[in-house]
Structure 1
Amino acid sequence: MARQFFVGGNFKMNPATQADKLALAKVLNEAELDPATEVVISPPALYLIPLKEAIRKDIKVAAQNCYLKDSGAFTGEISPAQLADAQIPYVILGHSERRTIFHETSEIVAQKTRAALDKGLSVILCIGETLKEREAEETAKVCQAQLKAAVDVLKEGDWSKIVIAYEPVWAIGTGKVATPQQAQQAHVDIRSYLSKVVSSSVADSIRIIYGGSVSAANCKELSTLPDVDGFLVGGASLKPEFVQIVNSKKL
């Protein structure tokens, strides 16, 4: 089954100023982007609506997180209902920084995923192992455990609204990148697991993207892997080279 290539840009807690945000938008608005690739950029919550209004219509905008309730006394949080009302189509959930720094469990991530889907949002669901887990050859075990929490609360039809981002924690912001063989094997293992616990059709159709120091220098080779359906890009999404990454399938 043909899966549309997907490139997401996670700005994290950047840019620092409105001017920087507009400069990023200008680069993307003026770029020639591969129309066959779905492009989604994810700024801090403060910039979601202004960036949505400033960016060209063929680029979608994603929130970097949301809570599992639609409203209430949850200071500092943003709800899936609010994102849906603002017509923000995507939300990133389960990023390793949320799991490690903010101590979100896979069960919490799954509850957030359920809440986001219930409001019509699409989810970029992040999973991945630490260096210690990689060295212990536990990559598949860790990814499956992180996915199982979501499997337990989702119906088969829900998976059509999910993009899985495999992000080895040891490769995020470190300059280290999983070898093509490591990335491909991890994606194959994820697809195999979903085939067993959800369905073969979901496993074949779901997009599994790679995140972990993706750059203009390594995106072309990674994009040729049969089970890598795109990228979730961190630091490079703040630079002009993001355009090259978006266009990696047609270079």
Structure 2
Amino acid sequence: MSFIQHKSFAVNLKGVQKERTISDAFEQSESGESLVDMMDLDLLVGSGGVLSHAPRREQSARMLIDSFLPEGITQLAVDSIFMMPQLGVMANIQKEEIAEDARMAAIEVFEKDCLIRLGSCLAPVGQYKVGATVLITELTLSNGETQTHVLKSGDIFRIKIPYEPVKAKLTPGKGMNIGAGKNEVIVTTIYGGVVGIIFDGRGRPLEISSDPKTRISNLTNWSKAVNEYPNLNPNSES
């Protein structure tokens, strides 16, 4: 996929000192290593027919998470009808008398009609131990309701929250990092979406069992956890 290709291209030149001028998502690294720091990427936007036209947005969210393996706190979105390439062309029109209007129009369409906000993925990273708590999340919703969610190693689940700001206190488990360093608590604002907030405690990199029965069981449970196929899950909420 293009993201993986871009990540492989964004590497340091061997023996060359480079300045940090791109963004905080790019870090100095030893020669030949990728400059992309997944922990600093706060938004993933999926574009293309498969992601834009998936039958359910939950399926798009799972594809983004399992393909890109976001770390820490990451908002997820998809291009509604695969219009980002055209908007990119529109935003870069060179004709001076219409360039600024075209750029502003492209931005407005991008924000209001192009982006489908799926929600957020919370994925702590660190040394996982079976059954251990990897993240405790305390949420305060816009209506004042409070919720507490405990994420265990190996689990994935989602809560349905629309696209709105949610105050969150994130307490990582022992040795875990949710964005501020190992064992560091974060108080921040996160966002829901048409899918909601997905808590991913499966670890990075994602381990897929080589045993067929275990692999099928895990994949089925992960699919049910985010309600990808509600017709196959009688206990799901559509």
- TM-score, structure 1 as length reference: 0.28
Write 1 or 2 for the structure with the bigger share of helix. Answer: 1
Higher relative contact order (CA 8 A, sep 6+): 1
